[in-house]
A = this chain, B = another copy of it.
Amino acid sequence: MTGTLYLLPTRLGASAWQLVLPAESREIACRLRHFVVENAKTARASLKWLEHPVALRELVIEQLPEPLKPVDIERLLAPLQAGNDLGLMSEAGCPGVADPGALLVRRAHELDIAVRPLVGPSSLLLALMASGLDGQRFAFHGYLPQREPERSKRIVELEKESRQKRQTQLFIETPYRNQALFDALTSACEAETLLCVATDLTLASETIATRRITDWRQRRPASADFSRRPTVFLLFSAG
């Protein structure tokens, strides 16, 4: 009998687990002894936060190597083949979503290993719900180019695609570049395009606002509002 590969979401920041995880997701995490994680240090902190009942030194915590080679994947999945359950965990949010680890899951399917995703926080999903933008069609694009003019060119492309497909566009940025991305968005987009800025989701400092570009230009947030805080940007052009 092979084990089950559990996909374990974790916190997005400092909040009690009762705020962001169902009791079942936490209980399953606490039963596991084998973990594959994006970052070992963050994972140990997450397991403490979950009040995992076993001493951390007695748990097997393997970090995903970068790049992830086929030989690594076989090694990391070995506990499953030996009949143990295994938990895959990211630094924050849901494993495999805007995150590494998907190749491990893909290989598990090839090996007919059961894969079970657990409910937990995803900044992308929470931002989409809270934005009020179209949730019937949406796309996540990861990071935009860092430099100009490539960044503004890409923003205009995404705005045009949003209008043509009636699709909400989601993207993220490294927190210290949030302000620069915001400035590029308010410069490059049309006045009536809707922009949602969703910061510190699930935290006490959470802020979410959706405004027309023309309104953002007149009510520019202070730099401190999101310049070093995890933020999801969402754009929708009704055309």
Residues of A participating in the B interface, judged by any CB pair closer than 8 Å: 7, 16-24, 94-99, 102-109, 115-117, 119-122, 124-142, 167, 194, 196, 201-202, 206, 208-211
Residues of chain B lying within 8 A (CB to CB) of residue A120: 119
| Of B19, B97, B135, the contact of A119 (CB 8 Å cutoff) | B19
A95 to chain B, nearest CB (A): 6
Q: Contact at A94–B129, with CB atoms within 8 Å?
A: yes
Evaluate contact between A132 and B96: CB separation under 8 angstroms.
yes
Mind listing 10 A-B residue pairs with CB under 8 Å?
Answer: A7-B129, A18-B23, A19-B24, A20-B24, A96-B135, A98-B135, A117-B201, A119-B121, A119-B126, A139-B140
Q: How many copies of this chain?
A: 2
Instruction: Give the distance to chain B from A158, nearest Cβ to Cβ, in Å.
Output: 12
A210 touching B7, Cβ below 8 Å: no
With known contacts A22-B18, A106-B210, A117-B126, A137–B135 Cβ distance under 8 A: no
Residues of chain B contacted by A105 (CB below 8 angstroms) = 129-132, 210
Known interface pairs A21-B22, A125-B122, A125-B125. Does A117 touch B141 (Cβ–Cβ under 8 Å)?
Answer: no
Most buried by B among A7, A22, A109: A22
- Find A19's partner among B22, B106, B201 (CB 8 Å cutoff): B22
Q: Are B23 and A135 in contact, with the CB atoms below 8 A?
A: no
| Bound CA–CA A209/B138 (angstroms) | 23
Q: What's the nearest-Cβ distance from chain B to residue A216, in Å?
A: 12
Query: Which residues of B are found within 8 Å of A133, using beta-carbon distances?
Result: 102, 106
Residue on B nearest A194 in the bound complex, by CB: B106
Q: Which of B99, B132, B140, B208 contacts A103 (CB 8 A)?
A: B132
Q: Is the CB–CB distance between A142 and B132 below 8 Å?
A: no
Given the complex of chains A and B, what is the CA–CA distance between A130 and B108 in angstroms? 10
Separation of A131 and B121 alpha carbons in the complex (Å): 18
In the assembled complex, how far is the CB of residue A39 from the closest CB belonging to chain B, in whole angstroms? 17
Cβ contacts under 8 Å, A96 to chain B? 128-132, 135
